[in-house]
Structure 1
């Protein structure tokens, strides 16, 4: 499975861009249609307002995307995601200009 450091935000139950968010490792299926994060299985889906994945067990909606170097990961509100300890070193290097692991060539 491809593994990437991603920005993940819970959308269900929160005003736009106000849900909890994380920077952490996400494991994707070969087709990138399924993601595993925090013990949840998230499936990619279109047509949702402000989300691109949903939890297959709870139907909660999430926004999953690559982190932004300027930390503007949300569209409308300031974000202060929790950086998971396992991802902290690679994320700090990314903020300092290094490519994300697995994205060295684009």
Structure 2
């Protein structure tokens, strides 16, 4: 799995003004599944969103961090929560000396990637469990 810095925004129920984060995600080998903040997202095709939360169906926009600070959609606004550990990398990427006032809230975002929980969920959906495999 790769650990990379991404922009994540909740779209369901918010349009372009949903809660948003900049933080470290882990991705599956194929890149189709993204793990962040105890959620797992799977790639989907859409105009306003490009990922869906595997467990609750909420739509999200997940992308790389933009160098020109334009992470939100042009029509959107609101404070973006950024992982405290990501601030130096974000500043280096954007060439800024400090975070713009009023645009960000710095917070501690734990690395909680529910890989095993999602793996079990997929196995249950296939109708197969480890005990089934042992009983065959």
TM range (shorter): 0.7 to 0.9
2:84 is aligned to 85
TM-score, scaled to structure 2:
0.65
Count of aligned pairs between the two proteins: 95
| Structure 1 runs of 4+ with >6 Å offset | none
| 1:64-75 → structure 2 map (5 Å cutoff) | 64-75=62-73
Q: Looking at CA atoms only, which structure, 1 or 2, has the larger radius of gyration?
A: 2
CA distance in structure 2 between the aligned counterparts of 1:73 and 1:3, rounded to whole angstroms: 19
After superposition, the CA RMSD in angstroms is 1.4
Q: Which runs of 5+ in 2 are unaligned?
A: 97-136
CA distance in structure 2 between the aligned counterparts of 1:49 and 1:95, rounded to whole angstroms: 26
| Secondary structure of the structure 2 residue equivalent to 1:12 | coil
Q: Which has the higher contact order (CA 8 A, sep 6+)?
A: 1
| Secondary structure of the structure 2 residue equivalent to 1:89 | helix
- Write the deviation string for residues 13-42 of structure 1: whole angstroms up to 9, x where unpaired: 11x210010110011111110000001010
2:58 is aligned to 60
Q: Which runs of 5+ in 1 are unaligned?
A: 98-106
1:50 aligned onto 2:48? yes
Bigger helix share: 2
TM-score, scaled to structure 1:
0.82
